[in-house]
Amino acid sequence: MITAGDGGDLDPQLDAFSVDVRDLLQRSVANLYSHLVTRPTGRAVRLAIEAQLREISLPALSLVDLSSVSVLDYSCADEVVAKLLLRGVEGSNPHSGSVFFIFQGLKAHHREPILEVLNRHELAAVVQAVGNEEPFQLMGARSSLEEEVWSVVESRGRVPGARVSEAFPDGRQRETVDGLARRGLLFRHPLKGDLHALSHLARRFE
């Protein structure tokens, strides 16, 4: 776990921890598999990530690295991606609105199962293909306006609270910002109102 330092205008006061899924599998499942298959395996990985989240202060950014996963089936994608995101946005969950996820290290064969489970649950996620230089993307169920607004924040990294109206002059755009923040797809500083792309936060912890 990496904890952000105190103070500073740019400090979003967010804890981050990086999860290498293979490491988690090694610790939480009896046998080591680079194949993320079967629902019980996916559930074990998800529970391990959630257990780590309980150990850190909120809000938190969780980086889930799939680069070592050679096979990802739909059942596991449902547990490790969709259910993890659902736990983050469900109103009944104490972590709701406080945990943000980036799924990193995506390879071509991860995309279809992840996209399928996201669409099925009407979820979207911030993802990055394998390789640190790859751009961050929004994946899953989203409107064209959500994509547009998210891309503005993503390209700027951070939009200061005082400039949000300038960046998004249209009321529908600002409503969309609210929706993206509720869905955990960007972070809004609780006091200053600054908007942060999750990629921007992730880079700060590197």
Partner 1 sequence: MRVLEVPATLSYKTLDPFLGQVTESPDGRVLLDARGLSWIDPVGMIGLLSAGRFLADRSEHPPVLRSPESSEVSGYLSRMGFFERVREGFELVSPPPRRSSGASDVLLELSKISENHDVHDVVERVQERAGHILSRTLRYPPSAVVQFSVILSEVCQNILEHAEAPGWVAAQSYNWSRRLGRHVLILAVGDTGRGFRRSLEGEHSGRFGDRWSDSTALEAAFLHGLTRFPDQGRGQGIQQMRRQVRRWDGVISVRSGTARIADVPEWEDLPPLEEDLPAFPGAQITILLPERVQESE
Site for partner 1 in 38-57 (CB under 8 A): 38-41
Q: Which stretch binds partner 1 (CB under 8 A): 78-86, 87-95, 158-166, 184-192?
A: 78-86
Q: How far is CA 79 from the centre of its chain?
A: 14
Q: Are 194 and 161 in contact (CB under 8 A)?
A: yes
35 part of the interface to partner 1, by CB under 8 A: yes
Angle between helices 39-55 and 21-28 (to 10 degrees): 100
Say whether residue 135 binds partner 1 (CB under 8 A): no
Instruction: Pick the binder of partner 1 from 120, 156, 163, 174 (CB under 8 A).
Output: 120
Residue 118, CA atoms < 13 Å, CB-side half-sphere: 20
Q: Which tokens belong to 198?
A: 């999750």
Give the CA distances from residue 120 to residues 37, 114, 152, in Å, rounded to whole numbers and listed in that order: 19, 10, 26
Residue 27 in contact with partner 1, rule: CB under 8 A: no
Structure-token pair, residue 193: 């109102």
Interface with partner 1, residue 109, by CB under 8 A: yes
Q: Does position 183 bind partner 1 by CB under 8 A?
A: no
Identify which of 9, 22, 36, 13 has the alpha carbon closest to the alpha carbon of residue 201. 13
Q: DSSP code of 161?
A: G
SS3 state of residue 163 = helix
Q: Binding segment for partner 1 among 1-9, 107-115, 150-158, 159-167 (CB under 8 A)?
A: 107-115
Task: Select from 48, 61, 72, 202 the one that contacts partner 1 (CB under 8 A).
Answer: 72
- Using rule CB under 8 A, residue 130 touches partner 1: no
Q: Of 21 and 72, which has the nearer Cβ to partner 1?
A: 72
Residue 179, helix vs strand vs coil = helix
- Closest distance of CB 32 from partner 1, Å: 10
In the complex, the residues that contact partner 1 under the rule CB under 8 A are 30-31, 33, 35, 37-41, 70-75, 78-79, 82-83, 108-109, 113, 116-117, 120-121
